[in-house]
């Protein structure tokens, strides 16, 4: 029968064992130029129970995808390779209802929320959350958005993350330690004797030391993982910026090479654009002129404001060769409604019209020109002899 000292040692064991309930947690975040993917996960290494939240959202400001048709979350096979994925959940514009795809989680009480809105693609998101024991964690997650770009062509973008959790071996080691402690507690209950009090006290102290050492090692590991992840994320972001800059410069180089410099005079660059003017004065044909602009990577110039007008006016004044330089502005389809030939946008209210213009003199003036002897804009017959001006977006 145990004396008071032995009983005290036994009573201290439950408090000691409570220290073994070590809960591990990890989170990860991934982003492409247009998709945010957040994954958070907590797990008890003894019971192997866990709770997980996965959120995927769309940021249309960083991509030319204008309409999101569907958003799908994938997870790698438990303890599998990065390339082996299961489809977990999906939401699309047709059903508007988020749905669970994988059968593995049917009994896990998964809560799924989501939204798709063709008119507001930035409000598109898909969230999964559950609190249930799972067969094994998924280390890689991926979110894929399918939809249409600004040209109404099918397009797809995706991003993926890796969840940095303590290894399976670490979980097993912690579980084994807990089992050993429980076994030792049982042995203490069966062998409790007065003369064993000193030995029990030493064993408890030794176990306390081991637990503290293990706890310190786990803290060091947990502290290192976010730093490594942040460093990797910073490196990826820097590479993405370099790639985007390279692609923009490459696109500008190709656009400049496409300009027919035998047929056009070239301006300086202004706000990512250059302007080209035909070298030969000839009878104007708005359709043929726009096609010539397209062949050099542009379209008939569209003056969006007085600042752009002034830049183009200064350019054509330097090259001269004609008194008339035609733009894309016209009211061929509807008299009095000036619009640009390429974009069909209405011509804005500009301050640079010559006095009394446009006046559709003799009912035959349907095209907008820069008239050098007027030093202003003027409406003129669409077949009058002159030059024409194109604009080329070097990064578009």
Task: List the pLDDT tens digit at each of the 396 positions of the chain.
Answer: 444 444 444 444 443 333 333 333 344 555 456 888 888 766 655 555 667 888 998 887 777 888 898 999 998 887 666 678 889 999 998 988 999 988 877 777 888 999 988 788 888 999 988 876 554 567 788 899 998 888 889 998 888 888 765 555 665 666 677 577 667 766 666 665 555 667 787 888 888 888 989 888 888 887 888 877 788 788 888 878 777 766 667 777 888 889 999 999 999 999 999 999 999 999 999 999 999 999 999 999 999 999 999 999 999 999 999 999 999 999 999 999 999 999 999 999 999 999 999 999 999 999 999 999 999 999 999 999 999 999 999 987
**Where in the chain are all domains bearing CATH 2.60.40.10?**
1-257
User: 264-393 is classed in which CATH architecture?
Assistant: Roll (3.10)
Residue 220 to residue 310: CA distance in whole angstroms: 63
- Give the model's pLDDT for residue 27: 45
Helix (H, G, I), strand (E, B) or coil at 360: coil
What pLDDT was estimated at residue 353?
96
Strands 385-393 and 324-330: parallel
Give the Å distances, CA to CA, from 4 to 7, 98, 187, 188, 194.
5, 62, 18, 14, 9
Q: Which tokens is 376 given?
A: 């202003």
The 10 Å Cβ neighbour count of residue 88 is 23
CB 192: neighbour CB atoms within 10 A? Answer: 18
**pLDDT at site 26:** 41
**Residue range(s) occupied by CATH 3.10.100.10 in the chain:** 264-393
Distance CA 26, CA 51 (A): 11
Determine whether 315 is exposed, middle or buried from the number of CB atoms within 10 Å of its CB (0-12, 13-18, 19+): buried
Task: Specify the length of the chain in residues.
Answer: 396
Looking at the chain, the number of H-run helices and the number of E-run strands are 5, 19
Phi-psi sector, 360: left (phi>0), alpha (psi -120 to 50), beta: left
Q: How many CB atoms lie within 10 A of CB 123?
A: 13
Say how many C-beta atoms besides its own lie within 10 A of residue 176's C-beta. 10
| C-beta separation of 114 from 91 below 8 A | yes
pLDDT given for residue 228 in this prediction: 76
- Is residue 376 within 8 A of residue 354, CB to CB? The reply is yes
Q: What is the per-residue pLDDT for 152?
A: 87
Question: Superfamily assignment of 1-257 in CATH?
Answer: Immunoglobulins (2.60.40.10)
pLDDT of res. 370: 98
CA distance 22 to 217: 13
How far is Cα 379 from Cα 356, in angstroms, rounded to an integer? 10
Nearest to 328 by CA among 314, 341, 309: 341
Nearest residue to 143 via CA among 127, 156, 126, 159: 159
Q: Which of 126, 77, 136, 124 is nearest to 102 (CA)?
A: 77
> How far apart are the C-alpha atoms of 343 and 302, rounded to whole Å?
9
pLDDT at 135: 45
pLDDT at 193: 56
Predicted local distance difference test score (pLDDT) of residue 25:
37
- Residue 67 CA to residue 148 CA, distance in Å, equals 5
pLDDT of residue 274: 97
Confidence at residue 47, expressed as pLDDT on a 0 to 100 scale: 55
- The residues with which 264 forms a beta bridge, in sequence order, are 278
Give the closest residue to 34 by CA, choosing from 112, 138, 146, 154: 146
């Amino acid at each position: 029968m145990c004396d008071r000292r032995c009983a005290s040692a036994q009573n201290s064991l439950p408090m000691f064992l409570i220290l073994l309930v070590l809960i591990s947690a990890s989170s990860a975040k991934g982003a492409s130029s247009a998709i945010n993917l957040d994954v958070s996960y907590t797990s008890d290494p003894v019971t192997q129970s866990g709770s997980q939240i996965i959120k995927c959202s769309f940021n249309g400001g960083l991509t030319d995808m204008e309409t999101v048709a569907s958003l799908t979350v994938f997870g790698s096979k438990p303890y599998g390779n990065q390339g082996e994925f299961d489809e977990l959940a999906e939401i699309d514009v047709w059903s508007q209802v988020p749905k669970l795809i994988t059968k593995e989680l049917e009994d896990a009480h998964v809560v799924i929320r989501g939204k798709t809105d063709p008119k507001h693609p930035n409000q598109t998101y898909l969230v999964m959350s559950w609190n249930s024991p799972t067969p094994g964690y998924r280390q890689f997650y991926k979110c894929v958005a399918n939809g249409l770009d600004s040209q109404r062509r099918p397009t797809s973008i995706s991003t993926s993350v890796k969840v940095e959790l303590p290894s399976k071996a670490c979980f097993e080691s912690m579980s084994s330690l807990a089992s050993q402690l429980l076994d030792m507690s049982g042995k203490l209950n069966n062998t409790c004797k007065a003369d064993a009090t000193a030995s029990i006290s030493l064993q408890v102290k030794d176990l306390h030391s081991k637990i503290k050492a293990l706890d310190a090692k786990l803290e060091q590991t947990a502290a290192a993982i976010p730093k490594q992840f942040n460093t990797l994320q910073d490196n990826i972001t820097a590479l993405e910026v370099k790639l985007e800059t390279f692609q923009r410069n490459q696109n500008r180089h190709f656009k400049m090479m496409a300009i027919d410099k035998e047929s056009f005079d070239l301006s300086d660059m202004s706000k990512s654009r250059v302007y080209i003017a035909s070298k030969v004065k000839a009878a104007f044909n708005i359709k043929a002129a726009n096609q010539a602009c397209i062949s050099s990577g542009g379209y008939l110039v569209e003056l969006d404001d007085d600042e752009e007008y002034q830049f183009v006016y200064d350019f054509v004044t330097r090259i001269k060769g004609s008194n008339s330089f035609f733009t894309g502005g016209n009211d061929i389809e509807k008299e009095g409604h000036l619009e640009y030939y390429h974009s069909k946008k209405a011509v804005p209210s500009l301050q640079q019209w010559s006095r009394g213009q446009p006046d559709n003199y003799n009912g035959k003036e349907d095209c907008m020109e820069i008239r050098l002897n007027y030093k202003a804009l003027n409406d003129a017959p669409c077949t009058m002899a002159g030059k024409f001006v194109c604009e080329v977006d070097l990064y578009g």
